[in-house]
Structure 1
Amino acid sequence: MARWRIHLTVLGVGLFFVNAGMTMIIPFLPLYLQELGVSDPHRVAVWASVIFAANFFTAFLFQPLWGSLADRYGRKMMVLRSGFGMAIVMTLMGLAGGPWQLLLLRILNGVVSGFAPASIALMNVGTPRDKIGYTMGTLQSSVVAGTILGPLFGGFMAEHYGYRPIFFITGGLLFIASLLALLLVKEEPVSKENGRSRERGTLFGSFRPLFRARGLNMLNVTTVVIQFALLAPVALLPLFVQELSGQAGMVAFYAGLVGSVNGLSNMIAAPLLGRLGDKIGSVRILLFCLLGSALIGLPQAFVSGTWQLIAVRFALGVCMGGLLPSVNALIGRYAPPNRESAAYSLNSSMYALGSMLGPLVGGFVSESLTIRGIFVLSSLLMAACGLWLQYGLPKPDKQVQLQPEAGA
């Protein structure tokens, strides 16, 4: 098997474990806070929101730092640092004695995170150019699969085994993912050019070429728009499902189904669209999926029944499957030489920023716009972003050069 395929398998499994483990806590976080002594319902809601957002906030701040270090000292090192670090932090969460301890550990988890951007950067460097789209789509499928199955496993285990054991299981999964990367992933030594850059340059000085790259800047803004538009209505979906169904029963089931079908179609479509992007170009796939998401997402504002919403969300997931993999494939072409990890980590910060702003702004404007208005706003943002890229995205300096698999 070609080395890049081994890496894809190992890192794909690792990303599945990481995302499944990180999302296992979502279904029971408020209940775990009650076990830690927080009894007032309002305080539980506030603590849960702050603790959940803390991880994204510190990840947003620290991802560029880890990306710069990856370019200087090696991407595999950053994969292992993040994986083993999160394994320790998640295990300690199961030993927390109060909400403040849990909050501090979530903050620390965001600091040491970075498994995904380091994995993507490592795959980008070692994969044949004509397989990049397929590779990024496959990694995206691993991420989505973990995100879908994590809450299901977490809810099941919390019901049968309690809350604390789940953190220990999550820590174990992260440890296994890191151990697989340690044993099976091989990386070329850091080049002499990187070493000289490391000696003479400041840590954050390595980001100056990224800020001067117009294509990278546009892709980073696109990532914020994508995450903002997709996550702005998510927190309001259960209430919308309740409104559509007109009854109290089965709301949780249908709300979960609405989220699951979206992720399912995303997971199926991502590698297929990635492979198509290798043939016709990732730019075309990104533009098609942005405009497709705008057109398909708009009918969400006009549905009159739960099953109509489920059908639209399934179709939307197909277009979503080509968004972030296409962005990741293009970042590798727009990134300056020996700055790939820094470029991916900076984009990961933008991902975290959009993930924070979407639900936050969506919650604040929901009273005036309602969720139907937020669906319209999300579609308009996607369409505007697609048109902006169509007429403003420059041609990348790095051209795709077909390479035989055996040489990977």
Structure 2
Amino acid sequence: MKLPIVFILLTVMIDAMGIGLIVPVMPDLIQEVRGMGIGTAALWGGVLSTSFAAMQFLFGPLLGALSDRYGRRPILLVSLVVLALDYLVMAVAGTIWLLLAGRVVGGITAATQSTANAYMADISKPEEKAANFGLIGAAFGLGFVAGPALGGFLAEYGTRAPFYAAAALAAGNAVFGYVVLKETVDDRIRRPFAWSRANPFGLFKHLGRLPGLGPLLLVFFIYQVAFTVYPAVWAYYTSERFDWSPGMVGLSLSLFGIAMALVQGGLIRPMLRLMGERGAVIYGHVADVGVFLLIGFVSSGTWLLILTPLAALPAVITPALQGIMSKAVGDDEQGELQGALVSISALAMILSPLLMTSTFYTFTKPETSVYLPGAPFLLAAVLIAIALMVFVRSGGAGRSPDVSGSSAP
């Protein structure tokens, strides 16, 4: 594997690890700097998470547009350096406001994933894009698994230790990228910077006008809202329904993350050869409807644990959709597209937890007339079915860029 690709995969993995590294210590750290109980700390934890996602939503298109204008290399390297400094600030933070500022800056620099996706699109042949996006998904999945595990281990050395580790990882990868990363944006695909498309609202309006791309963006958004049911309510659902311990919840999420990495990093290639990108998206949605229905109604914790890694089989949806959309825009719009997808994912992360947790509460509160802890997963199944209908009706493909590789302004 070429060293620039290794750097890109490490960047995405470290991004995922950096988030997971600090999760185990955040409750104790918030209580430490604020002097509050666990309940109030949880509320502040929600504020920190929401601010992180909000910054991703607002700044994803901006960094994507900057990478189309000034290149992927400077955006990636500067983001990693700022992220390392941000973790160091959080490591010494003595107030909740400094922690909040750290999460705001972290959300802005987390757009490294959009630029990493754009870099991967730049160096991939059209028929390779979906599979290579799968590699990025696999790297994120591995980081998702390794981050909390390493963070829990480092927490034994104090609430600040994971932040120093995250800073070291980001700084080390920045040095590695400085040495091996080649610029992919040249004058052929370099695009003038425009503020009208460097914000999520203007960018969505522009991309929505491209033939066939608007419905695909809608499918991506609905899927992200449905998929977020896992981080939003999994721990609450398994605790309520099967009385799982935190250790069992962590084990199940690790199984899911590993299986997802295997699907997106390896299994996706033969699936794409067999079904094509459009077929993979349709298969993934149909399979996800089945998985969510099974999770919603399963009555045995043992069967749920067996089902957990199998639930990752529909994970071909995201890279296959990204592949279709990447081929539907010009080479000079890859950064903008990936920035838009980061914003869409962030918006889903803001809205979906509210939707899923309120659904869970409605069907588990003491006075409920219908006790159904799996209701959020049934709602997710309905959303996936809607996304599938939108995808099929859209034809499942956007426009093709012109032969020069650039789109019309």
With normalisation by structure 2, the TM-score equals 0.89
Distance 1:369 1:233 in 2: 17
8 Å CA contact 1:214–1:394 kept in 2: the answer is no
Structure 2 Cα separation of the partners of residues 193 and 17 of structure 1: 28
* One-letter code aligned to 2:378: V
Structure 2: runs of 5 or more not aligned = 365-372, 404-409
**Which residues of 2 match residues 295-310 of structure 1 at below 5 A?**
295-310=290-305
Could you say what the CA RMSD is over the residues aligned between the two structures, in angstroms? 2.2
User: Which residue of structure 2 aligns with residue 356 of structure 1?
Assistant: 350
Whether the 8 Å contact between 2:131 and 2:269 is mirrored in structure 1 is yes
Q: 2:328, 2:401 within 8 Å by CA — same for their partners in 1?
A: no
In the other structure, the counterpart of 1:406 is: none
Aligned partner of 1:258 in structure 2 is: 252
Residues 1:313 and 2:304 aligned together: no
2:174 is equivalent to residue 172 of structure 1 = no
User: Does residue 389 in structure 1 map to residue 394 in structure 2?
Assistant: no
SS in 1 for 2:336: helix
Q: How far has the Cα of 1:393 moved from its partner?
A: 3.5
Residues 216, 331 of structure 1: 8 Å contact kept: yes
- Displacement of 1:14: 2.1
SS in 2 for 1:194: coil
Alignment of 1:101-180 (within 5 A): 101-159=98-156, 161-180=157-176
The amino acid of 2:293's aligned partner reads L
Match of 2:81 among 72, 84, 93: 84
Distance 1:216 1:276, change over 3 A: farther
The one-character-per-residue Cα deviations of 1:143-182 (angstroms, maximum 9, x if unpaired) are 01001110111011102x1111211110110112222222
**Letter of the structure 1 residue corresponding to residue 167 of structure 2:** G
**AA matched with 1:45:** A
Contact 2:142–2:261 (CA under 8 A) maintained in structure 1: yes
State the alpha-carbon separation in 1 of the partners of residues 69 and 276 from structure 2.
Answer: 30
Which residue of the partner structure matches residue 286 of structure 1?
Answer: 281
The aligned counterpart of 2:69 is 72
Which SS does the other structure have where 2:312 is aligned?
helix
Q: Determine which of 8, 21, 25 is the counterpart of 1:24.
A: 21
Aligned pairs (5 A) from 1:329-348: 329-348=323-342
Q: Structure 2 vs 1, CA of residues 238 and 113 (structure 1 numbering), >3 Å: closer, same or farther?
A: closer
Query: 1:204 corresponds to which letter in structure 2?
Result: R
1:245 aligns with 2:242: yes
Whether 1:218 and 2:220 are equivalent positions in the alignment is no
The superposition leaves residues 2-33 of structure 1 with CA deviations (integer Å, 9 ceiling, x where unpaired) of xxx33222211221122112211111211111
The residue number in structure 2 matching 1:204 is 197
Q: Do the aligned partners of 1:233 and 1:374 also contact (CA within 8 Å) in 2?
A: no
Return closer, same or farther for 1:184/1:244 CA change in 2, 3 Å cut-off.
same
| Counterpart among 380, 405, 409 of residue 378 in structure 1 | 380
Distance 1:38 1:289, change over 3 A: same
Q: List per-residue Cα deviations over 1:368-399 (Å, max 9, x = no partner).
A: 24531111110111122112101213533338
Instruction: Give the letter aligned to residue 323 of structure 1.
Output: I
Equivalent residues of 1:221, 1:350 under 8 A apart: no
TM-score by length of 1: 0.89
Paired amino acid for 2:239: Q
CA offset digits 1:105-137 (Å, max 9, x no partner): 111211232111101101101112232222111
Counterpart amino acid of residue 270 in structure 1: Q
Would the alpha carbon gap of residues 244 and 363 (structure 1) be closer, same or farther in structure 2, given more than 3 Å must change? closer
Residue correspondences, number: 390
Offset at 1:259? 1.4
User: Secondary structure at the residue paired with 2:190?
Assistant: helix
Q: What SS does the corresponding residue of 1:36 show, helix, strand or coil? A: helix
Aligned position for 1:37: 34
Aligned pairs for 1:87-98 (under 5 A) are 87-98=84-95
Alignment partner, residue 369 of structure 2: none
Percent of paired sites with the same residue? 22
Q: Summarize the Cα distance change of 1:193–1:293 in structure 2 as closer, same or farther, 3 Å threshold.
A: closer
Alignment check: 8 A CA contact 1:90 1:170 kept: yes
Counterpart in 1 of 2:186? Answer: 190
Residues 194 and 281 from structure 1, CA distance in 2 versus in 1: closer, same or farther, beyond 3 angstroms?
same
The answer to whether 1:11 aligns with 2:8 is: yes
Amino acid in structure 2 at the alignment position of 1:29: M
State the Cα distance separating 1:241 from its structure 2 match.
Answer: 2.2
How far apart are the structure 2 equivalents of 1:38 and 1:222? Answer: 44
1:62 and 2:59 matched:
yes
Asked whether the equivalents of residues 297 and 312 of structure 1 are also in contact (C-alpha less than 8 Å), the reply is no
Could you tell me whether the CA contact under 8 Å between 2:211 and 2:398 is conserved in 1?
no
Equivalent residues of 1:8, 1:135 under 8 A apart: no
Q: CA deviation at 1:295?
A: 1.1
Q: Does residue 261 of structure 2 align to residue 267 of structure 1?
A: yes
Q: Is residue 136–residue 274 contact of structure 1 (8 Å, CA) maintained in 2?
A: no
